[in-house]
């Protein structure tokens, strides 16, 4: 089953506002569906003042891919309920020759990222008329030394703390963020607002925000289902960061703070193998997108300084320095790692407690579990800030297999008991795109190290029945 997606750009009619892109495709019922996108690059543009470079073409491409990924529902537009065959037509490029040089590399990278087959076709674009004059912020780009992605999660918080503490004199770090649904932006505002109010890293950072996504109310056919996996979000995030880093210098690194355990994302059971396992910062995706960047003439490196560290390692190492430890302790509860924070109907805490700003975590998804393991290292594993404590749950029953919300915890226990061995981990890494022997050795060691930490946490917290499920007793 092939889905052919047409892209159409409509100028806004004013230089103050960027135009909008419309995504159109024929669904499996034969009806043509279309939806508009929101794309507000103003804060990024204020820093770069550029809409004609290949870096801006990259930003437009990634925004279109992200929105197509969200608009084309997997179940409705694939033969197997998962893998889509997506032909992307009329993708505008100011620098058509350069973008075509990276076309095949982009296809390979994005296909790996989302688990689909992508076939991107560029067309020559006219120059964009976007040139705002109202409430435009001025930057001295030469004062910035680093660019880092900042999501509001614990890893990006630690990345911010670590990098801000190693800046050269009178230099700054620029934090690049994405907002669509609003929850992430709330986390970012909480963290940076606290920093401003308490004079933390004063004059050492700025933030720019990209607001991009689909406009749900603009569907021509109401009730059209959309995809909820957000698999291509990291491409958009990376591209926004590269757009900024490239303005600072062609050599400026884009720092992507993500613990290596999440990056390699070992499938905990056979149902999560291959493309069913998310790959947002997977080393193979990073390598492929770097190849695509080089093909279009962008040399800025993408660097994850935590690629061989677990989340617990990150917390421990950040806490070794007294000043950084104090900052981390003051900000950690403002960060959010939860993948399912909107599913609060399943939480034990109810009523007004769910809407308390401090309760952001379901406590049951894998990111929440890994966060607990990491914060236990500094005695900050606080059950009171969780929607559900998996060890003392009320609604949560690990023995009830009909509860879909329990799958992550049970899958983790199953993995620890049945699959936590060098052979299985190495094999899964190889099947999921890591083929270099040195990298296989490194990531196999990382995975074993990470899950030993999980076992030690379980020994402190879990009941005998849970320990038996993890193969500990």
Q: What's 115-176 look like in SS3?
A: CCEEEEEEEECCCCCCCCCCCCCCCCHHHEEEEEECCCCHHHHHHHHHHHCCCCCCCEEEEE
Task: Give the CA distances from residue 314 to residues 7, 171, 373, 445, in Å, rounded to whole numbers and listed in that order.
Answer: 42, 24, 11, 16
Task: Give the CA distances from residue 401 to residues 99, 150, 302, 391, 394, in Å, rounded to whole numbers and listed in that order.
Answer: 49, 36, 41, 16, 15
How far apart are alpha carbons 121 and 124 in whole angstroms? 10
Query: How would you write the pLDDT of the chain (473 residues) with one tens digit per residue?
Result: 899 999 999 999 899 999 999 999 998 888 999 999 999 999 999 999 999 999 999 999 999 999 999 999 998 888 888 899 999 999 999 999 999 999 999 999 999 999 999 999 999 999 999 999 999 999 999 999 999 999 999 999 999 999 999 999 999 999 999 876 556 678 999 999 999 999 999 999 999 999 999 998 999 999 898 888 778 999 999 999 999 999 999 999 999 999 999 999 998 876 655 444 578 899 999 999 999 999 999 999 999 999 999 999 999 999 999 999 999 999 999 999 998 877 777 788 864 555 555 788 999 999 999 999 999 999 999 988 999 999 988 888 777 767 666 688 999 999 999 999 999 999 999 998 899 999 999 999 999 999 999 999 999 999 999 999 999 97
Residue 274, pLDDT score: 44
- At 438, give phi and psi (nearest 5°): -65, -45
Residue 350, pLDDT score: 60
User: How does strand 85-93 pair with strand 2-10?
Assistant: parallel
Q: Which helix (H) or strand (E) holds 211?
A: strand 205-214
Q: Which helix (H) or strand (E) holds 99?
A: helix 96-101
Q: Give the predicted TM-score (pTM) of the model.
A: 0.93
Q: What is the pLDDT of residues 102-148, one digit of tens each?
A: 999 999 999 999 999 999 999 999 999 999 999 999 999 999 999 99
How far apart are alpha carbons 35 and 133 in whole angstroms? 29
């Amino acid at each position: 089953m092939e889905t052919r997606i047409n892209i159409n750009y409509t100028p806004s009619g004013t230089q103050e506002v960027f135009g909008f892109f419309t995504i159109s495709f024929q669904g499996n019922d034969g009806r043509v569906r279309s939806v508009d996108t929101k794309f507000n690059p103003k804060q990024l543009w204020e820093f770069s003042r550029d809409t004609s470079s290949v870096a801006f073409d990259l930003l437009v491409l990634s925004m279109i891919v992200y929105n197509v990924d969200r608009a084309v529902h997997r179940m409705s537009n694939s033969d197997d309920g998962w893998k889509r065959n997506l032909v992307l037509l009329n993708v505008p490029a100011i620098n058509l020759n350069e973008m075509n040089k990276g076309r095949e590399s982009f296809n390979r990278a994005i296909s790996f990222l989302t688990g689909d087959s992508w076939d991107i076709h560029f067309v020559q674009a006219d120059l964009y008329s976007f040139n705002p004059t109202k409430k435009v912020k001025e930057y001295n780009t030469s004062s910035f030394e680093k660019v880092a992605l900042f999501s509001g999660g614990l890893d990006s918080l630690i990345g911010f703390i670590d990098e801000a503490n190693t800046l050269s004199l009178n230099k700054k770090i620029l934090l690049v963020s994405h907002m669509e649904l609003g929850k992430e932006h709330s986390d970012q505002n909480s963290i940076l607002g606290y920093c401003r109010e308490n004079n933390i890293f004063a004059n050492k950072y700025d933030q720019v925000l990209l607001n991009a996504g689909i406009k749900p109310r603009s569907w021509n056919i109401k009730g059209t289902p959309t995809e909820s996996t957000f698999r291509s979000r990291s491409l958009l995030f990376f591209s926004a960061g590269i757009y900024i880093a490239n303005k600072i210098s062609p050599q400026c690194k884009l720092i992507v703070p993500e613990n290596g355990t999440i990056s390699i994302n070992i499938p905990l059971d056979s149902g999560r193998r291959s493309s069913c396992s998310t790959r947002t910062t997977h080393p193979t995706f990073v390598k492929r997108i770097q190849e695509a960047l080089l093909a279009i003439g962008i040399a800025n490196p993408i660097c994850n300084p935590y690629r061989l560290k677990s989340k617990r390692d990150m917390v421990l190492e950040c806490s070794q320095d007294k000043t950084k430890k104090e900052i981390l302790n003051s900000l950690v509860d403002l960060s959010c790692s939860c993948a399912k924070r909107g599913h609060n109907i399943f939480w034990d805490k109810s009523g007004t407690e769910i809407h308390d700003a401090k309760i952001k975590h379901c406590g049951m998804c894998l990111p929440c579990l890994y966060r607990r393991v990491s914060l236990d290292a500094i005695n900050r594993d606080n059950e009171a800030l969780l929607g559900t404590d998996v060890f003392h749950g009320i609604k949560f029953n690990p023995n009830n297999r009909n509860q879909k919300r329990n799958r992550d915890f049970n899958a983790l226990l199953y993995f620890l008991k049945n699959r936590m061995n060098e052979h299985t981990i190495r094999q899964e890494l190889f099947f999921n795109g890591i083929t270099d022997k040195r990298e296989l050795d490194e990531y196999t060691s990382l995975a074993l190290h990470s899950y030993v930490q999980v076992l030690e946490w379980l020994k402190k917290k879990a009941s005998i029945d849970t320990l038996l499920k993890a193969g500990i007793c």
